[in-house]
């Protein structure tokens, strides 16, 4: 999940454009209350390498044109600077993170429960210095 707040949305979308050529994808891109996005990016703003697009915006902000089928949430607040910490925003981001975690494959690495031997324990330690008499 990649989240861009305010002008960070422009930076995030440009970063997605750059890594798209390398085949990098993100599951979700979140546009968090970016003002004048179409002025910054034009009308072709939908990232080709994001599987899901979520837009969270304050009441003062208008929905940008150019996103295809975004999930849209409007905050009750008009305060742009408070949009990242708005209780609804934090709930939505937490829910999105839980959904991503639940839908991702998980591999749990094996963990050795035995204590390391003395040679393993001190393998990366610098050599002991002689103690002066």
For residue 57, the tally of other CB atoms under 10 A from its CB is: 21
In a domain, 52, yes or no: yes
Q: In the predicted model, what is the mean pLDDT of residues 42-65?
A: 90
Q: In the predicted model, what is the mean pLDDT of residues 52-74?
A: 91
Quote the number of domains for the chain. 1
Q: What is the pLDDT of residue 40?
A: 87
SS3 67: coil
Q: Which of 72, 68, 69, 63 is nearest to 37 (CA)?
A: 63
Q: Return the structure tokens found at 67.
A: 């996103």
In a domain, 110, yes or no: no
Q: Give residue 44's pLDDT band: very low, low, confident or very high (50, 70, 90).
A: confident
d(CA 22, CA 15): 12
Q: In the predicted model, what is the mean pLDDT of residues 62-91?
A: 91
Q: Give residue 103's pLDDT band: very low, low, confident or very high (50, 70, 90).
A: confident
Range of the domain at 41: 2-103
For residues 32 and 56, the answer to whether their CB atoms sit within 8 Å is yes
pTM of the model: 0.73
Q: In the predicted model, what is the mean pLDDT of residues 79-95?
A: 92
d(CA 90, CA 33): 13
Q: Give residue 113's pLDDT band: very low, low, confident or very high (50, 70, 90).
A: low
Q: Give residue 101's pLDDT band: very low, low, confident or very high (50, 70, 90).
A: confident
pLDDT reading at 130 higher than 80: no
In a domain, 36, yes or no: yes
In a domain, 113, yes or no: no
């Amino acid at each position: 999940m990649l989240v861009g707040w305010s002008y960070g949305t422009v930076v995030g979308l440009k970063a997605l454009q750059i890594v798209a050529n390398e085949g990098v994808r993100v599951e979700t891109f979140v546009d968090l209350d970016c003002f004048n996005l179409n002025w910054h990016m034009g009308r072709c703003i939908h990232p080709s390498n994001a599987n899901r697009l979520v837009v969270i915006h304050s009441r003062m902000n208008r929905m940008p044109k150019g996103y295809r089928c975004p999930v849209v949430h409007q905050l009750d607040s008009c305060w742009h600077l408070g949009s990242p910490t708005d209780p609804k925003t934090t709930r939505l981001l937490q829910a999105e993170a839980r959904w991503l975690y639940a839908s991702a494959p998980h591999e749990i690495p094996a963990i050795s429960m035995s204590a390391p031997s003395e040679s393993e324990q001190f393998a990366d330690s610098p050599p002991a210095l002689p103690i002066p008499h």
